[in-house]
Amino acid sequence: MHSFWRVMRPITMGLLTVATVAGAQSTTLTLDEALATARANNPTYLQAQNARTRATAGLRAAYGAFLPGADASLGSGLRQGRQQFFGGVAFGATSDVMSSNWGLNFSARYSAATVYNLKRAKASVDAAESDISAAEQRLRNDVTQIFLASMQAKARATLQDTLLASAKAQLDLAEARFKVGSATDLDVKRAQVQVGQAEVGVVRERNSAALAMVQLYQQMGVTRTTDASLSMNLPATAAEFSLNQLLDQAKKNNPRLQATIAREQQANANVRSSQGDFIPTMSANASFGGFTNRQKDENALVTSAERSVNSQRASCLSTDSLRRGAGLSGITGVCNSIQFTDAQRSSIIAGNQNWPFNFTSNPYNINVNFSLPLFDGFSRLQRLQESRAGQRDARQAVRAQELQVGADVTGALLTLQNSWKALQIQTANAGVAREALTLADERYRVGAAAFIDVIQARADYGRAETDRINALYEYHRAFAGLEASVGRPLR
């Protein structure tokens, strides 16, 4: 029996040292690595980043309002060579006509809203950045809390493994003593019950640890492929912080407060923009363009031009006859000079070759206007009053957020300080319970105590060590809560 105890004693005492991380695993995951993975993969956080894209696009559009709008056009068409009749008069060419045109139009509109919309867009970008910072802070807090909960579950599971090993060692000892007659069958039965209860505790705590790891990977936004051993280098020290310093830091760093302040700036810009509706608006427009036509049947053009020249010559000759009849001098020479020449024919054909890109410019058009609505059914006044109400709401929202941040920081600091005190007490209790269990083991070994004393000492140690583990991670969670309230890491 004594040789058996000499072998089991170092094993039992070694198992009573509780580790905070489960046994060796395939990989090691630190808190910083978990946070980096979450920032790169968490869907909710990535969705929050889209606000920056929208706000940046709005800022670009606000800058673009200072530039004139422009559009260009280029077109081509074909009209069938067929005349149309309006009021019995024929219009249109008898030849198919191909046409093309181009145009450039510029427009600009400037008002007080143009300037203040830019300021509002800049405030939107600031608010979006603060929202992203708030989302990152929430993600950091969520991942940290789940990481701590996972480590806490693993620590409790390791404690249950330790208690199970201790119970099995006590069962072996009780059976050995029963065989030599120094223990009763009741001691053996009780030891067997203790082993069974410890096995149930192991199953429950391992299940809790596995579920915590599932939640951790879910928060990180990745699929769990391998088991990981969690590692965290966060010391447990007394919280020596000044409340006033923490409040000052929170006013500068808390992202939710900064986002609320940025939205107040947006509201201020809205008011000034509404006031700008009472100032004249300037608008300017400019347009340039050109056109060209070509008839597919060039002979029709030549024939029409030749017919027109011959008609002019015939009219001139008729006038010449009338002049001679009236005794006036004749103009026969002038009439004879009216001839359709080859040069004219060539010019007509050459002029029909401008299509599609040899454009004839249209007259350009530029105009500038100033406008001011004299009466619009009190719509401008309504918009102004609504923007001022929004401004007052934004100011109260900032004040409410400042009060909320102050309360959160104060409460988080008190929680952290009390968590540290509770940890100190639970650590001392666990130390005493460990000594009591060692003493009970020694007394039972020499027959100075009953087995029920060992059972009670082990139960006391299990509760005390569990409370110590819970107090340790409650402290770390309280520290993370304080960091979330302040808006920045504090260690």
pLDDT tens for the chain, 491 residues: list them. 343 333 334 334 443 333 333 333 358 889 999 999 999 999 999 998 898 899 999 999 999 999 999 999 999 888 777 766 666 666 665 677 888 999 999 999 998 888 888 988 998 898 899 889 889 999 999 999 999 999 999 999 999 898 898 888 888 888 888 888 777 888 888 889 888 998 998 999 899 988 989 999 999 999 887 777 888 887 888 878 999 999 999 999 999 999 899 889 889 988 988 888 888 899 999 999 998 888 777 777 788 888 888 898 889 988 888 888 888 888 888 888 888 888 888 888 887 888 888 888 889 999 999 998 888 888 889 999 999 999 999 999 999 999 999 999 999 999 999 999 999 999 999 999 999 988 988 888 777 778 888 888 888 999 999 999 999 999 999 999 999 999 988 87
Would 32 be classed as within a structural domain? Answer: yes
Same domain for 237 and 258, yes or no, is yes
Would 101 be classed as within a structural domain? Answer: no
Same domain for 59 and 177, yes or no, is yes
CA distances from residue 254 to 57, 258, 486 in whole angstroms, order as listed? 26, 6, 6
Would 95 be classed as within a structural domain? Answer: no
Same domain for 319 and 390, yes or no, is no
Q: How many residues does the chain have?
A: 491
| Exposure class string for 58-74: b at 16+ Cβ within 10 A, else e | bbeebeebeeeeeeeee
Pinpoint the alpha helices (H) of 65-111. none
Domain ranges, residue 175:
2-78+110-280+374-486
Would 87 be classed as within a structural domain? Answer: no
Same domain for 346 and 398, yes or no, is no
Would 90 be classed as within a structural domain? Answer: no
Q: Per the structure, how many domains does the chain have?
A: 2
Would 105 be classed as within a structural domain? Answer: no
Same domain for 51 and 123, yes or no, is yes
Give the C-alpha separation, 346 to 30, whole Å.
89
| Contact of 22 with 156, CB cutoff 8 Å | no
Say what the pTM is.
0.70
Would 102 be classed as within a structural domain? Answer: no
Domain CATH number, residue 67: 1.20.1600.10
Give the C-alpha separation, 260 to 127, whole Å.
7
| Contact of 391 with 268, CB cutoff 8 Å | yes
Same domain for 343 and 453, yes or no, is no
